[in-house]
Structure 1
């Protein structure tokens, strides 16, 4: 048995910008990029024709949104602006570290997180004191697919070198994390099974 944990809302709580478009705009302007007057409209539009379930990295979305309004910006500048815009305070949830370590003592343990912002998952793990606790870390911005798409869970299973159907995924959202069931795996909902009880539940299994 291998186990993956969701990150945001399961192991940690973070404070996101209340107005992401505005926060990104301020970071772009601080780097000399002229943000169009209808930026909020451009930010809210779809600019990348990606398959259903595919992750579009936020820097790519922002770059295309600027381009749609005739604003040219260097790729690295846009990336730095987006990364700086999402620099949240992080709070590790009670029992999170213990749950990860207890599960890891029983078998492979990984992380599978939906996140379109580069570096945010690794930054969050460091701030939460969870860096180095996982055998593999898979983020949608890296693997290219968001939960509940099967390919996201397949990528996480591959990173742990296990079959997807043997994977147990621990998360807080049945609509996304529950997608593990589509590949034959099992979903553990932390809103029903607290983190403090997750490892004990696996120990009780034959």
Structure 2
């Protein structure tokens, strides 16, 4: 059995800008990018025709939004502005360390996170109480190109852990996204039904069920 965890809202809380468009605009201006007057509108428009379930990296979206307003800029400015705009204070949630420890007793462990901002998951982990080697794999939507609940991101996570998708247990807080594990035959442990402190007990029960099914 492999176990993956959602990151934001599950293992950690991380603040984010109240107004992402304004936060990105402020960072663009610091980099001498002429932010268009209708930036709030441009930011909300769709600029990349992506398949259903695909992730559009936020720097790519910002670049296309600027291009749609004929703004000339250093191409690296969009990425740098996005990374700077999403630079969170991080708090590790109560019970998170114990939940990951319990998962490690049962097999390999991954993070499987929706995140359109490059570097954000790594910086979040550095600021948390976790160590990088607490996880055998880190799979992000910005890295693999698919967002939960797309089956592809769960299949890739299972592959990274060396288990079948049907043997992957995914712990998360959002049934709309984290519940997508059901589509590939895996098991969702959703925090809407239990506390994070209850995850070790649930994992123990799943392990017992797995063992009894092979008796």
Relative to the length of structure 2, the TM-score reads 0.93
Equivalent residue number for residue 160 of structure 1? 161
Equivalent residue number for residue 151 of structure 1? 152
> What CA distance in whole angstroms lies between the structure 1 residues aligned with 2:24 and 2:75?
14
Q: Does the 8 Å contact 1:140/1:152 carry over to 2?
A: yes
Q: CA deviation at 1:89?
A: 1.1
Q: How many residues align?
A: 206
Q: CA deviation at 1:190?
A: 1.5
Equivalent residue number for residue 102 of structure 2? 102
Q: Does the 8 Å contact 1:168/1:188 carry over to 2?
A: yes
Structure 2: runs of 5 or more not aligned: none
Query: Is 1:182 aligned to residue 183 of structure 2?
Result: yes
> What CA distance in whole angstroms lies between the structure 1 residues aligned with 2:131 and 2:74?
31
Match of 1:187, SS state, is: strand
Q: CA deviation at 1:154?
A: 0.8
Q: Does the 8 Å contact 2:115/2:140 carry over to 1?
A: yes
Say what the alpha-carbon RMSD is for the aligned residues: 1.0
> What CA distance in whole angstroms lies between the structure 1 residues aligned with 2:160 and 2:136?
8
> What CA distance in whole angstroms lies between the structure 2 residues aligned with 1:91 and 1:108?
24
Q: CA deviation at 1:158?
A: 1.3
> What CA distance in whole angstroms lies between the structure 1 residues aligned with 2:136 and 2:182?
22
Q: CA deviation at 1:98?
A: 1.4
> What CA distance in whole angstroms lies between the structure 1 residues aligned with 2:37 and 2:66?
11
Equivalent residue number for residue 21 of structure 1? 21
Runs of 4+ in 1 over 4 A off after TM superposition: none
> What CA distance in whole angstroms lies between the structure 2 residues aligned with 1:166 and 1:118?
29
